[in-house]
Structure 1
Amino acid sequence: MTIDCDSAKSKNDMTKVSNKPDISNLDPSILDDVSIPIRKRMETYVKLLQRRLMDDVEAEENSNRFSNEPKQFLVETWTRKEGGEGISCVLQDGEVFEKGGINVSVVYGNLPPRAIRQMSADHNGLIDRVGYKIEGPGAEVDSLPFFATGISVVIHPKNPKSPTSHFNYRYFELMHPKTLKDGSPNPRYNEDEPVAWWFGGGADLTPMYLYPEDAKHFHAVLKAAADSQDVAFYPAWKKWCDSYFMITHRGESRGIGGVFFDDLSLPSWSNTKPTFIPLVDGSSHPQSQLVSTKQHDKESLFRAVRAMGDAFIPAYLPLVSKHKYDVFDDLNVEWQQLRRGRYAEFNLVYDRGTKFGLMTPGARIESILMSLPLKARWEYMDGTTGTGREHSAAAQLIDAEKKKQNPDSEMKAREEIQQVLENPVDWV
């Protein structure tokens, strides 16, 4: 998530539209160059990954296309006055993909105290790590410089047999200000040493119909990528994913999981030396402290994020290719739209990035809401998905009517995926 927290005061330049992001000025060789700051390398990585994924999605869309006219992404490039840029790429109404968005943002500026506290709600101990008095009488600073870059992707295929998928990977820094609030030089200022930094991200799968072999493939590819960096990563991140994407008011998950992590950094006492790092699995009250099996430094964590980002295409696109020509009917579309209604509920009610973005004056609303499906449906007390259906006479009546009208195979398929959404499964 990268948000301009002072954007209400900014006057952004007119956006530019094209068919492809320009990557001619990017140098892939710097990704492993430890002399280059991580922020520059992460920015380069997400922009290269964006272009690679765009090319692969367009190739899938236009392979054996019925229309002679190839479908392309609409690419909108934007900048902001205080510093930063973004590239929003959206494909809509395709033959394979109903809607797909691939966004990259690189934002920097100053984070006011209210925004720092907003971030600290998600990053335990951040205020303590910052070490400045940021509010009230005697406040040392009135803002902190920040930098954030990341890629965010959501793909909604047209065929109900093809799963929706989402991933995002991001990097965040808080820096020391050059001067304190009273105008005096800041003795702690060091442009090469952030106050705090961390990686976050994840990838997850949301099928409308359950194909266990697809679920196993998706999770296996992500697990292999995570295991290549540290075998402790996948179990913690998979559990956190199941927890994070729970639609609490529905008592079901948005999908069948994947990986999710935040606050991926080094402990403050490590002094940048390789060390075993604490891990989080999303548990409110973990029974024991999770720890990595390898010693890590900033470079190894950057490699881990890149490994996970690189894993998305082989984890997901083969599933789209496998199902894009599957036969489907109006009943399948009806169920797809019901499930996408749940997808919209999660994103608007629970997703931290969406909520923070919508509360930020002047934020880029269209980019924030890019994740929403093109079409969604809500039915009162559906017999398979209705919340509280077990105690609802209306749900029992509606369920009985649907079972009369719909084939047994369709109702069974709906119940199978619903069971997994309410009871997460360990796929690998």
Structure 2
Amino acid sequence: MSDELLEERARASAWFRELRDRIVAAFEALEESHSEGPFADAPAGRFEVTETKRASEDGADAGGGLMSVLRGGRVFEKVGVNVSTVYGTLGARAQAAMAARKGIPGMAEDPRFWASGISLVAHMQNPHAPAVHMNTRMFWTPHAWWFGGGSDLNPCIEYAEDTAHFHATQKAHLDPHGAEFYPRLKEWADEYFFVPHRGRARGVGGIFMDDHNTGDWEADFRLIQDIGSAFLPAYLPLVEKRRVMPFGETEKDAQLIHRGLYAEYNLVYDRGTKFGLETGHDANAVLMSLPPLAKWV
């Protein structure tokens, strides 16, 4: 393996960890600053951090990461921010899924892989404050490498101005890479985060991409960094505005029902959930995205 490749992987892994640290600090600051409105008298939430390990069939070191979860805070009912760097060999089911989706030749002969990324899901105390998902990642095999990820907003009570701000911020971060990126990644998110058996999207969209490899690693890395950097300025102003709003049983009921939709999508369709479980990553970390409470009618 070349020194250049080792350096690229190290830089990507370090970036995802840096982004994780920045988000955790920002979310804990939100908890501290929430001094009026619902839940203002509750203790400020703090992240509980647990090391995770990937289970390797032969017992060899297969990497791991950090699972950071905040539960029962003033602002967040449950939020998880996971970061990991895992490696080893893909099992038969994971090989088949990857080969079929990405069309990568030679995986049966050499199924080695390396993957690093950050994954975040936030479920809110106040139904007016939107839930959100974000992940970015780099994946490598001896046959190819690529970047993927994005973020999408999942409000149970929709506000047009919130949706507009979320999308405009992402567009502003993508436009320096080319005017074609935002509309393409927005359309991709609309398709990817659609729940077929419900005939609807799980939220109000965002941006998403996968299998991104232009052959210019530096350019592609800058793109994934800007996708990650867009998250906090796109999301924090929405939470700061909505966390103080009063709500009642009707709004809470709408939130719990919407969470059921979110859980259905993640358990039935989400590629990251399937890949994490099939490659032996910590199940609690993989399923961190599920809400603490949900409801079905």
Q: TM-score, normalised by structure 1?
A: 0.64
Q: Match for 2:114 among 137, 147, 161?
A: 147
- The CA deviation string for residues 155-176 of structure 1, in whole angstroms up to 9 with x for no partner, is 111111110110100001112x
Q: Distance in 1 between matches of 2:93 and 2:104?
A: 13
Query: Is 1:102 aligned to 2:81, yes or no?
Result: yes
Equivalent-residue separation in structure 2 for 1:355 and 1:196 (angstroms): 21
- Measured after TM superposition, the shift of residue 235 of structure 1 is 0.9
Q: Residue in 1 aligned with 2:291?
A: 373
Q: What corresponds to 1:314 in structure 2? A: 233
**Match for residue 74 of structure 1?**
48
Q: Specify which structure has the bigger relative contact order, considering alpha-carbon pairs within 8 angstroms and separated by 6 or more residues.
A: 2
Amino acid at match of 2:19: L
Pair 1:36–1:349, CA change in 2 (3 A): closer
Structure 1 residue runs of 4+, over 6 Å off?
Answer: none
* 2:101 aligned partner, one-letter code: D
Whether the 8 Å CA contact 2:66–2:84 is kept in 1: the answer is: yes
Aligned ranges 1:6-25 → 2 under 5 Å = none
3-state SS in 2 of match to 1:377? coil
Q: Which residue of 1 aligns with 2:30?
A: 60
1:126 to 100, 104, 121: 104
Structure 1 residues 340-360: Cα deviation after superposition (integer angstroms, max 9, x where no partner):
111111111111121233445
**CA gap 1:316/1:325 in 2 versus in 1, 3 angstroms:** same
**Letter of the structure 1 residue corresponding to residue 288 of structure 2:** M
TM-fit CA distance, 1:252: 0.6
- Alpha-carbon displacement from aligned partner over 1:313-365 (angstroms, at most 9, x marks no partner): 000011001000101001100111111111111111111121233445x4411
**CA distance in structure 2 between the aligned counterparts of 1:377 and 1:367, rounded to whole angstroms:** 22
Give the 3 Å change call, closer, same or farther, for CA 374–114 of structure 1 in structure 2.
Answer: closer
How far is the alpha carbon of 1:35 from its aligned partner?
Answer: 9.0
CA RMSD of aligned residues (A): 1.8
In structure 2, distance between residues paired with 1:206 and 1:335: 12
Instruction: Report the counterpart of residue 49 of structure 1 in structure 2.
Output: 19
1-structure distance, mates of 2:268, 2:50: 27
Q: How does 1:348-359 map to 2 (within 5 A)?
A: 348-359=267-278
Change (3 A) 1:364 1:79: closer
SS of equivalent residue, structure 2 residue 136: strand
- 1:366 Cα offset (Å): 0.8
Q: Which amino acid is 2:208 matched to?
A: F
Q: Does 1:207 align with 2:181?
A: no
Q: What is the CA–CA distance in structure 2 between the aligned matches of 1:92 and 1:316, rounded to whole Å?
A: 19
Residue identity over aligned pairs, in percent, reads: 45
Deviations 1:33-60 (A, max 9, x none): x897221111000001001000000000
Q: What amino acid is aligned across from residue 377 of structure 1 in structure 2? A: K
Deviations 1:199-256 (A, max 9, x none): 0101000111121111000000001111111211111110010111111011010001
* Paired residue total: 285
In the alignment, is the contact (CA less than 8 A) between 2:45 and 2:72 conserved in 1? Answer: no
Report the alpha carbon displacement of residue 69 of structure 1 after superposing the two structures with TM. Answer: 4.4
Amino acid of the residue matched to residue 282 of structure 2?
A: R
Amino acid at match of 2:134: F
Q: Give the CA deviation at 1:108.
A: 1.0
2-structure distance, mates of 1:114, 1:255: 30
Deviation readout 1:173-210 (Å, 9 max, x if unpaired): 112xxxxxxxxxxxxxxxxxxx2000010100011112
Q: Secondary structure at the match of 1:210?
A: coil
Structure 1, 68-77 or 226-235: larger mean CA deviation: 68-77
Q: Return the offset for 1:61.
A: 1.1
1:40 correspondence with 2:18 = no
Closer/same/farther in 2, CA of residues 64 and 204 from structure 1, 3 Å limit: closer
**1:415: which partner in 2?**
none
Gaps of 5+ in 1: 1-33, 135-140, 176-194, 267-271, 273-296, 380-428
Q: What residue number does 1:263 align with?
A: 211
Q: CA deviation at 1:70?
A: 3.6
